[in-house]
Amino acid sequence: MKAERFPVSGRRIILRAKPNGLPKAEDFACETAAVSEPGTGQILVRVDWLSIDGFMAGRLKDQANYAPGVGIGQTMQAFGVGRVVLSGTEHFTVGDYVYGPFGMCEWALMEASPEVKKLDPSLGPPRLHLGMLGISGWTAYVGLFNVGVVRPGETVLVSAAAGGVGAVAGQLAQIGGARAVGIVGSEEKVALATSKFGYAAAISRHDSDFSNRLSAACPNGIDVYFDNTGGAIYDNILDRMNIHGRIVVCGRMANAALADSRQDIGPRDHNDILVKRLRKQGFIVTDYSSDFDRITRTLAALRAEGRLVLPEDIAEGLPNAPGALVRLLRGENLGKQLVRIGTET
């Protein structure tokens, strides 16, 4: 075990109070804590970049979720990339670039579990493994092709189409021979979705003529709805789903401010599900982790060919990580939301 530049303390973001509605930056605090030397089977990671993702809102709630939440005083959860600076296991070497659930912190002491993965630096800058070549890219790929089973010639509607997952989903749907239509949160994002992210058409959900524009944008109806938001917009979309359509439930950004999702009230969808023989299916991308290496190589090849882009919205420094989460949950980011912690690209 070789020490590179062992710290004695580092900063981390802890949860100070359970959010009442949408999280605010004041719900978090930045504190300095001692960092221990890794024991046997552990590594110490210098975190360079953090990924800010919609799932984080769910980790702040008391409602049951697919993964444990964050308690008061605990480090806020986040995926990150960084370098191994101390290693207590033969599986990692000092200097390895790694990806994992490091949390919002500068230094992460981790067990060498399968959740921590070595990165291949030849595929591009490490931070890409948080976006296009990581959770955003995997989620878009798995949602479209494993769950939605998108086929050439079909119409795919994507909500939050200018976010990290949505931006990749538009391009991948087009690469897969489908026609992508996006729902976004502003006119600025309409332009971005159609000019950069492969969308044949995009509509702002705040458009006063939303319903008619959606019909015009989907003249052949909707075969796959890739839903990153949930909420009331769903009722509008059900009407336009085609027979044997698929509804991919990927995110629930529209409910981020609700303490309990049962407060999201609307018409039950059983009639449309039955009449149109729809398949509505939720997924958690980590259930497909055995496929991640293959998907990463596919996405990296598309990037190398110039067929896949993902703009990054970068917040500077760990203390700005809570603010970046607030921005994301308000839909104020453009493309993949990242936080730069270290000095690495």
Stretch that binds its own copies, among 16-24, 25-33, 163-171, 267-275 (CB under 8 A): 267-275
Compare residues 30 and 273 and give the one whose CB is closer to its own copies.
Answer: 273
Distance, in Å, from the CA atom of 229 to the CA atom of 58, rounded to the nearest integer, reads 13
| Residues 6+ away with beta carbon under 8 Å from 252 | 54, 58, 229, 230, 231, 261
Query: Is 250 near its own copies (CB under 8 A)?
Result: yes
What backbone torsions phi and psi does residue 54 show, to the nearest 5 degrees?
A: -60, -30
Does 211 sit near its own copies (CB under 8 A)?
no
Sequence length of the chain is 345
Considering only residues 295 through 334, tell me which ones interact with its own copies, judged by CB under 8 A: none
Smallest gap from Cβ 241 to its own copies, in A, equals 11
**Nearer to its own copies (CB atom), residue 138 or residue 234:** 234
The residue within the footprint of its own copies, chosen from 2, 90, 114, 268 (CB under 8 A), is 268
Of the listed pieces 3-11, 26-34, 62-70, 107-115, which binds its own copies according to CB under 8 A?
62-70
Specify whether the CB–CB gap between 126 and 81 falls below 8 A.
yes
b/e per residue 61-100 (b: at least 16 CB within 10 A): beeeeeeebbeeeebbbbbbbbbbbbbbbeebeeebbbbb
Closest separation in Å from C-beta 33 to its own copies: 31
Q: Which of 40, 263, 290, 343 binds its own copies (CB under 8 A)?
A: 263
Task: Residue 9: count other Cβ atoms within 10 Å of its Cβ.
Answer: 11
By CB under 8 A, tell whether 68 contacts its own copies: no
For binding to its own copies (CB under 8 A), which residues are involved? Answer: 58, 63-66, 227, 230-231, 234-235, 243, 249-252, 255, 261-284, 287
